Amino acid sequence: MSMKHQPQTFHPIPGVYMQPDGQATVTVWGPLLESVEMVGSPEMPMQVPLQKKEYGYWQGQTVLPPGQRYKFRLNGKEAFPDPASLSQPEGVHGYSEVLDRSFLWTDEGWTGIAQEELILYELHTGTFSDTHDFEGVAERLPYLKKLGITAIEIMPVNHFPGSRNWGYDGVYTYAVHGAYGGLHGLKRLVNAAHNEGIAVILDVVYNHLGPDGNYLAEYGPYFTSRYKTPWGKALNFDDAWCDGVRNYFVQNVLLWLEECRIDGLRLDAVHAMWDYSAHHIMQQISEAVQALEDATGRKKILIAEIDLNNPRYISSVSAGGYGLQAQWADEFHHALHSILTGETNGYYEDFGQMYHLEKSFRDTYVYDGGYSAHRKRMFGASAQHLPYSKFVVFSQNHDQVGNRLLGDRLSATLSPAQLQLAAAAVLLSPHIPLLFMGEEYGEKNPFLFFVAHEKEDLVEVVRKSRREEFAYFQFEGDFPDPQSEQVFLSCVLGHDCKKEPVARQMFEWYQQLISLRKTRPAFNNFERTAVNVWPVDEVERVLLVERNGHNDSVLIAFNFSDAGRPLPALCHGLDYILTSAQQSDYAANRLSPFSVSVFEKKNT
């Protein structure tokens, strides 16, 4: 059989892998190149020619010291940084750096946590603490444990241009941003989190790369002209030579989950990863992760961001799906946000009625085949065959806060009672809850979009695109300058729990809700049959949700009205467990405005 008919079995790990004795294996994918050689910086000169192997890979063996700076000279001409660089100390255009990857782990007893136990806390490394790095996050792990968080979800940390960025403009998929603490700093954070009993989820971007410092196309056909994305050229997952591209990202997944012992990935905008091949890239990634989990005994989870109400991504491979474990459920947020704020512009035009929130509690997808006015077409499919634990819900996240004119959080406009109600809706829902950093005490500082690009023309493109992208929201005024350092600094958390009584009370409320979720048996059943949601009256605005399981049953009454409401007939004859603070109204058989009350059956 000729080589072209044989199945591909050669899947090398790209980049520089150094052994303890200094021996290093150097691998570069460049199927159309005529020559590749590794060259050192002027201060650390060296030259290693690479040999062409199967499927477009170039490899070489050499001895390298940690800290060696290098690039790859292509076809005897210009030299570029390593596409799989682990460190870029000189920035996105500078020399790559060889790292000693050894690390002394102390989390050997850690095997992860069950998906159903996830209480996620999304954070941005640069704005979570005053030190703007992994050490600042690690110092606050005991605080998060006290809150009740079981997993932190870190926004992207791969190397990006400049000193500040959300992380979605990264151009070095394998390199951890140096200002955060680099690869070793990330490992120290993961190790510390595991020793606190907290899992780590990392946000990764496999649908595009940023525009500044992106040299992938110099090496090979990493991109395809078949499709387009909102951020530029689509990555090549199904065109000629796509196997090298697919392997590049699969090996990156394993870098985070195996070498860095991260517990899972949040995959950004997977709907923009175009792939019409028989073996979808999402399925290939999920199979590689399953094999890793089987080999190590450590639980791993893949959570997708999907702008499609398509359950195929999170259905099992045996059921014709791609095998991812969970997805963000944006429509729960949209339904909750529009009810609390009254906003019905932009994509919120598809929401605004209590019915939408009722349906999201019951069915998860609000649009599961019905007509979407915003999209002007029928949209979505049913997810009722999947458990609620397949879906992550939230009242705020980096997108929904940051993609606003002022990056304003709900705390900027809602009362403490409304904020408590929003928290209860998320934490007592049958889905997996996610909190956005600072919401647990009502953080007032905004979370704005920020960058630190070095090219002025690119800065202007960002400024212009931000205005145009969100013009349909009909915001008044101009956007804060994304390039401004002051904009970035204004987003750093204040951590007011110990300073302000209202913040402390909010923090304690979140603790109560999380404790209730963890300890009450009825909240630990995620099957569809275990949840009953009553039809809601648009005038009364009281949502009733029953949770059943493990010989336990609770009834939750969410009052989204700004007026007191009579205690629903279903609540009479039940024992009181919890109300939001205004207990006097409950005693008068009334639900307080913007409140939540939880009841249990007498015979449970």
Domain ranges of the chain: 3-97, 523-600
Residue 565 annotated in ligand binding? no
Q: 264: part of which helix (H) or strand (E)? A: strand 264-267
Query: Is 270 a known ligand-binding residue?
Result: yes
| Same fold yes or no, 3-97 and 523-600 | yes
Q: Answer yes or no: is pLDDT of 161 > 70.
A: yes
| Widest distance between CA atoms in the chain | 84
Position 245 pLDDT exceeds 80 = yes
Q: Report whether 40 contacts 46 (CB < 8 A).
A: yes
Mean pLDDT of 576-586: 45
Superfamily of 3-97 according to CATH: Immunoglobulins (2.60.40.10)
pTM: 0.95
282 is written with which tokens? 């999402």
460 pLDDT higher than 90: no
What's the confidence (pLDDT) of residue 570?
76
**Given pLDDT bands bounded at 50, 70 and 90, which one contains residue 480?**
confident
Is 398 annotated in a binding site? The answer is yes
Residue 574 has pLDDT above 80, yes or no: no
pLDDT digits (tens, 9 = 90+) for 98-151: 999 999 999 999 999 999 999 999 999 999 999 999 999 999 999 999 999 999
In this structure, what token pair is assigned to residue 595? Answer: 């409140």
Which residues are CB-contacts of 192 (< 8 A; sequence separation ≥ 6)?
138, 141
Is residue 334 a known part of a binding site? yes
Structure tokens at 418: 């409304």
According to the annotation, is 403 in a ligand binding site? yes
The answer to whether the annotation marks 123 as part of a ligand binding site is no
pLDDT for 455 equals 84
The count of residues in the chain is 604
Q: How far apart, in whole angstroms, are the C-alpha atoms of residue 483 and residue 462?
A: 9
Is 88 a known ligand-binding residue? no
243 is catalytic: no
- When pLDDT is cut at 50, 70 and 90, the band that residue 578 belongs to is very low
Euclidean distance between CA atoms 102 and 4, whole angstroms: 38
Q: Please tell me the least confidently modeled range out of 122-126, 400-404, 460-464.
A: 460-464
Token pair for 488: 């970035």
> 320-350: per-residue pLDDT in tens?
999 999 999 999 999 999 999 999 988 999 9
Residue linked to tokens 């951020």: 231
State the catalytic residue, choosing from 37, 238, 263, 305: 305
Beta strands in 269-400 (DSSP E): 301-304, 326-328, 371-372, 377-378, 391-393
401 annotated as belonging to a binding site for a ligand: yes
* Mean pLDDT value of segment 551-569: 91
Give yes or no: 305 in active site: yes
pLDDT(243) > 60:
yes
The residue type found at 454 is: E
Q: Is the pLDDT of residue 452 over 80?
A: yes
Q: What angle do CA 368, 513, 502 make, to 5 degrees?
A: 115
Residue 603 pLDDT level (bands cut at 50, 70, 90): low
pLDDT band at 478; cut points 50, 70, 90:
low
Least confident range from 251-265, 297-311, 496-510: namely 496-510
For residue 476, what pLDDT is reported? 61
pLDDT band at 583 (very low <50, low <70, confident <90, very high): very low
Q: Closest Cα to residue 234, out of 286, 276, 265?
A: 276
- Distance in angstroms between the alpha carbons of the first and the last residue of the chain: 69
402 assigned to a ligand binding site: yes
Stretch among 47-51, 282-286, 476-480, 595-599 having the lowest mean pLDDT: 476-480
At residue 414, does pLDDT exceed 60?
Answer: yes
pLDDT-derived band of residue 454, with 50, 70 and 90 as boundaries? confident
What is the DSSP-derived secondary structure letter of residue 39?
Answer: E
- In percent, the amount of the chain with pLDDT more than 90 equals 82
CB under 8 A, 24+ apart: contacts of 285-293: 285/249, 285/250, 285/253, 286/317, 286/322, 286/323, 286/324, 287/317, 287/323, 288/250, 288/253, 288/254, 289/253, 289/257, 290/323, 292/254, 292/257, 292/258
Give the whole-angstrom CA distance, residue 40 versus residue 98: 11
Q: What is the CA radius of gyration of the chain?
A: 25
**Among 153, 169, 218, 268, which one carries the catalytic annotation?**
268
DSSP state of 574: -
Q: Is 183 annotated as a binding residue?
A: no
**332 annotated ligand binder:** yes
Q: Which two tokens stand for residue 67?
A: 């800290």
* pLDDT of the residue at 3: 41
With 70 as the cut, is the pLDDT of residue 8 above it?
Answer: no
For range 447-452, the mean pLDDT: 93
280 is in an annotated binding site: no
Selected from 2.60.40.1180, 3.40.50.1400, 3.40.50.2300, 3.10.400.10, the CATH number assigned to the domain covering 523-600 reads 2.60.40.1180
Identity of residue 530: A
Average of per-residue pLDDT values in the chain: 92
The answer to whether 300 and 293 have CB atoms below 8 angstroms apart is yes
Decide which of 200 and 470 is more confident: 200
Q: Determine the pLDDT at residue 581.
A: 39
